[in-house]
Amino acid sequence: MTNVDVLTYAGNPANLDGVVEEHGERYEFFKADIAHADQMDALMTEHQFYAVINFAAESHVDRSINSPLNFIHTNVVGTSVLLDCVRRHGVQRFIQISTDEVYGSLGSTGKFTEQSPLDPSSPYSASKAGADLLALACHKTYGQDVIVTRCSNNYGPYQFPEKLIPLMIIKALRNEPLPVYGDGQNVRDWIHVNDHCAAIVAALFEGKAGRVYNFGGNSEMVNLDLVKMILQRLGKPARLISFVEDRLGHDRRYAIDSAFAQRELNWKPRHQFEEGLAETMQWYIENPNWWQPLLERAGRY
């Protein structure tokens, strides 16, 4: 297995502690930018890969609003470069890891399916939608074995502190104000990172070329209720909640229908949200040596 990462602000080699010891020569790290064709070509010339799984992405919506070009570079250009290299070097399968945000916002009812129209609301989600379309076009044009997966919000250990759940846990632990956008009534569906990884493995080995698979955790929750739950579990007062100006283009509700993926891939989410959240909170409580340096380096949280 070859791990390619350019190590931006969110990249943290400490996330891979123990991987080399566990996997030995079966694992290698290659620092590179997926948007640099020469680097990707050299890597695929050196190795004969069965599959490329494109996790690489700029993913924080707030940052995309402030600096869209970084997202176009990695999410669109990078995906295009990878698809081209995969095709030229005879890599059998390409998995494009995407997001439910490409579908836009839902009303109070209904769920996204694989047939839902794309209606992105932010530069981030637009860049991911563009990458998805490039990948699927390569299947139609060149006959490449491409699969697109779209997932709801992930949570779990090792998540960078700018994301909602770790941000709120860390702010609460430090007795700092917890910023909640708008009225806090936005709804998200949450999936544990381990369930998402299991779904990707299932798609890799059981998925059919040209298909889109939606992965959700069946765990819809209002953001404000989630923040209150975190405070309650930590024994912190609700007065720490600080309502802030709403995010531009903020989608109101996401919900994923993953029935098709469950049937075709023989997969389903295993984690119950409240138990998974409790385990995640405990991890952040026990691992300040992991997240404190990230806060100091980022200088904004």
Q: Which domains does the chain have, with CATH numbers?
A: 2-298 (3.40.50.720)
This prediction's pTM: 0.96
Tokens standing for 274? 């409240």
Q: Which of 33, 58, 101, 251 is catalytic?
A: 101
Catalytic residue, chosen from 58, 100, 132, 195, is 100
CA gap 270, 93 in Å, rounded? 26
* Per-residue confidence (pLDDT) for residue 295, from 0 to 100: 85
CB environment 51-76: b (16+ within 10 A), e (fewer): ebbbebbbbbbebbeeebebbbebbb
Question: 216 near 258, Cβ under 8 Å?
Answer: yes
Q: How far, in Å, CA of 95 to CA of 91, rounded?
A: 11
Q: Compute the radius of gyration of the chain from its Cα atoms.
A: 19
**Tens-digit pLDDT string for the chain (301 aa):** 999 999 998 888 889 888 888 888 889 999 999 999 999 999 999 999 999 999 999 999 999 999 999 999 999 999 999 999 999 999 999 999 999 999 999 999 999 999 999 999 999 999 999 999 999 999 999 999 999 999 999 999 999 999 999 999 999 999 999 999 999 999 999 999 999 999 999 999 999 999 999 999 999 999 999 999 999 999 999 999 999 999 999 999 999 999 999 999 999 999 999 999 999 999 999 999 999 998 887 665 4
- pLDDT the model gives residue 301: 46
pLDDT at residue 90 in the model? 97
Token pair for 156: 């779990």
Q: Rounding to the nearest 10 degrees, give the CA dihedral for residues 12, 159, 109, 262.
A: 80
CA dihedral 161→167→173→175, nearest 10 degrees, is: 130
For 257-283, the DSSP string reads --HHHHHHHT------HHHHHHHHHHH
- Please tell me the predicted confidence (pLDDT) of residue 72: 97
C-alpha 207/C-alpha 145 separation (Å) is 10
In 3D space, the residue among 122, 112, 109, 2 whose CA is nearest the CA of residue 58 turns out to be: 122
- Give 133: exposed, middle or buried? Use CB within 10 Å, 0-12, 13-18, 19+: middle
**Is 100 an active-site residue?**
yes
User: Does residue 27 have an active-site annotation?
Assistant: no
Q: Identify the burial level of 110 via C-beta atoms within 10 angstroms of its C-beta, where 0-12 means exposed, 13-18 middle and 19 or more buried.
A: exposed
Q: Which of 124, 155, 254, 284 is catalytic?
A: 124
pLDDT of residue 298: 66
